[in-house]
């Protein structure tokens, strides 16, 4: 593997670095809400894509034709996506309702973590796939979701203004 030509890894490192640099200069609750919304949109898109397969696996009892446990990957991906949607919704609700400390560590705050654990377990138990089976359908879908999240964040920012947003999310 040549690191200088690994643009995916380079993009991830630059993106995470930029996040940690910029986060100190931007109101953290607003950033938190933006990431919660983006996570909900991306997780929701995955849920929509995998829901028919999950329905077949959980409700209809459908299994892989090879009987190799591949259905566990559908459960894994779906539950990871559910956890992202739930955690994003919980985070937005927590911010909207005043960021009360009693919400932290409550049973309802742990549901996202439980969904994530179930999803990770399904992915861990699922069989490996080879490169020919693993395909990304559309980069355009991801780009549209990111642009939609940015447009919503921009609209909220211009509607409420920075000072009002800070008061809305202030503890």
Residue 11 lies in a domain: no
In a domain, 53, yes or no: yes
Asked if the structure places residue 21 within a domain, the reply is: no
The pLDDT tens digits of the residues spanning 16-67 come to 677 666 666 666 677 778 888 999 999 999 999 999 999 999 999 998 887 7
- The range of the structural domain enclosing residue 160 comes to 27-128+135-169
Is 19 a member of any domain? no
In terms of Cβ atoms closer than 10 Å to its own Cβ (0-12, 13-18, 19+), residue 51 is middle
9-23, 26-40, 96-110, 132-146: which range is least confident on average? 132-146
Domains in the chain, number: 1
In a domain, 33, yes or no: yes
> Of how many residues is the chain composed?
171
Residue at 68 is within a domain: yes
Residue 1 lies in a domain: no
Residue 104 lies in a domain: yes
């Amino acid at each position: 593997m040549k690191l200088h030509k690994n643009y995916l890894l380079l993009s991830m490192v630059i993106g995470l670095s930029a996040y940690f640099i910029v986060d100190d200069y931007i109101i953290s609750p607003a950033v938190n809400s933006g990431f919660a919304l983006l996570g909900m949109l991306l997780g929701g898109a995955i849920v929509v894509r995998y829901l028919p397969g999950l329905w077949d696996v959980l409700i209809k009892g459908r299994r892989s034709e090879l009987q190799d446990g591949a259905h566990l990957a559908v459960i894994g991906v779906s539950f990871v996506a559910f956890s992202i949607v739930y955690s994003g919704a919980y985070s937005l609700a927590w911010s909207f309702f005043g960021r009360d400390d009693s919400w932290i560590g409550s049973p309802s705050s742990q549901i996202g973590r439980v969904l994530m654990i179930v999803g990770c377990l399904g992915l861990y138990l699922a069989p490996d796939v080879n490169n020919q089976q693993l395909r990304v359908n559309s980069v355009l879908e991801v780009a549209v979701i990111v642009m939609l999240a940015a447009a919503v964040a921009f609209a909220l920012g211009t509607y409420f203004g920075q000072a009002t947003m800070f008061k809305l999310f202030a503890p």
